[in-house]
Amino acid sequence: MKLRSMLSVLAVLGAACASHPRVARTPATPSHASQSAFERQIQNARDAGDGDYQLRTLREKVAAAPDDVAARLQLAAAYRDRGYPDIALEMCRLAAMRFPQSGEVQMALVRALRDLNQRTEAIAGLETFLQAHPQSSPEYFSWLGILHDETRQWAAGEPSHRKAIELAPSQDYLHNNLGYNLLMQKKAVEAAVEFREALRLNPASQLARNNLGMALAGQDANAQAIANWQSATDAATAHNNLAAVLIEKGNYSEARKELELALGYNKAHPAALKNMELVSRLDGNAATLPARQTETTRWERWKAGFAHLFVGPLDDTRTHPQ
């Protein structure tokens, strides 16, 4: 399934040790031996930044203007982009403590937590922030809904998606996100309404069109689902998509029929071949391929080359606008 969206600087201080030539001392344990993993990461990040002009410039900028929120966010993002997401996260946490009212900082913290798969903390922090600092932008509620979806808390995410639409009803991706949430709650009829609205607002949305086909198939409106998919792709891909839905529902015999139709249109369709292999493993019956394939037009073959719908069995993940 297709589914369709950072900070305070850490000061690392080093102290030089002076020795007296006439006083014998017990050799000290090297400092790195007692460092925590996080302290070593900080030192590594600092060492990496020493030779990086942009990082060094940003660190100097933050040191000179500690209340410059934008500079802190830029510095955290720079560390994240260089492979230090844990350092970026700590910068975000410290910035959120220093600027608790900043929505920009809060969203940076949410993204940093999500990068490290700490969605439960991201949800709790964003909910607390919105209670203390109500926002009029749909972005905050959309992200809250997405985080709930990604942790499979579908019912908890629905109100957030609806709030985002209330704030920005003309944004097609918000309707698509709510539709996805409803589809995961097995509310296929309601989900189809949202996908249709997303397509009304943006007829070119391939994601919404694919999802509408899923919703229709979920209502057992298979003919409508095929027609919907074929309006944007070729017949082989449309039948393969329906087969993928049927596989998810455990209806292997009907899935096999759809795959035979798909391979009848295009015997080399990669997704249909993969799904046929999957069905054969699931139901224990050997794969059967059509004796002859219907000739496809040049137009269908051209569209097939650009169609990227469901490759293999469906997946519960999707991509949100960032």
Residue 20 is assigned to a structural domain of this protein: no
Domain presence at residue 154 = no
281 three-state secondary structure: helix
Residue carrying structure tokens 């302290």: 39
Q: How many domains does the chain have?
A: 2
Mean pLDDT, residues 96-121: 97
> Is residue 224 scored above 70 in pLDDT?
yes
Rounded distance, CA 214 to CA 272, Å? 17
- Name, in order, each residue with C-beta under 8 angstroms of 33's C-beta and a sequence gap of 6 or more: none
CATH code, domain carrying 89 = 1.25.40.10
Q: Tokens 């930044």 identify what position?
A: 49
Q: Is residue 149 in some structural domain? A: no
Domain membership of residue 125 (yes or no) is yes
Q: What 3-state class would DSSP assign to 121?
A: helix
The position carrying tokens 């799904």 is 275
- Cα–Cα distance measured from residue 61 to residue 75, given in angstroms and rounded to the nearest whole number: 9
Cβ neighbours for 163, distance < 8 A, ≥ 6 positions apart = 138, 141
Q: Is residue 151 part of a domain?
A: no
Residue type, 8: S
The arithmetic mean of pLDDT across residues 19-43, rounded, is 45
Q: Domain end: 104, 134, 164, which one?
A: 134
**Spatial CB neighbours of 251, under 8 Å, sequence gap ≥ 6:** none
Please give the model's pTM, rounded to 2 decimal places.
0.71
Last-in-domain residue among 102, 134, 166: 134
Residue 107 lies in a domain: yes
Give the domain-ending residue among 119, 134, 149. Answer: 134
**Closest among 81, 87, 91 to 45, alpha carbons compared:** 87
Residue-level pLDDT at 1: 40
User: Is residue 239 within 8 Å of residue 247, measured between CB atoms?
Assistant: no
Domain that holds residue 245: 233-316
Q: What is the largest CA-CA distance in the chain?
A: 96
* Among the listed residues 186, 221, 192, the one whose alpha carbon sits nearest the alpha carbon of residue 209: 192
Is residue 217 in some structural domain? Answer: no
Span 149-172, mean pLDDT? 98
CA-CA-CA-CA dihedral for 191, 192, 193, 198, to nearest 10: 90
Q: What average pLDDT does the structure give for the chain?
A: 81
pLDDT band, very low/low/confident/very high, at 116 (cuts 50, 70, 90): very high
The residue type found at 65 is A
- Report the length, in residues, of the chain: 322
Q: How many CB atoms lie within 10 A of CB 272?
A: 27
Contact, 275 vs 256, CB < 8 A?
A: no
DSSP classification of residue 117: T
Residues 255-284 have pLDDT tens digits of 999 999 999 999 999 999 999 999 999 988
Confidence of residue 35 (pLDDT cuts 50, 70, 90): low
Residue 318 to residue 322: CA distance in whole angstroms: 12
User: Looking at this protein, which amino acid is placed at residue 127?
Assistant: E
Angle at 186 between CA 181 and CA 188, to 5 degrees: 85
Chain-centroid distance of CA 183 in Å reads 17
Determine, yes or no, domain membership for 280: yes
**pLDDT for the residue 51:** 64
Kindly state the tokens that stand for 314.
């469906």
pLDDT band at 321 (very low <50, low <70, confident <90, very high): very low
φ, ψ dihedrals at 152, nearest 5°: 60, 30
How many helices and strands (H and E) does the chain possess? 16, 0
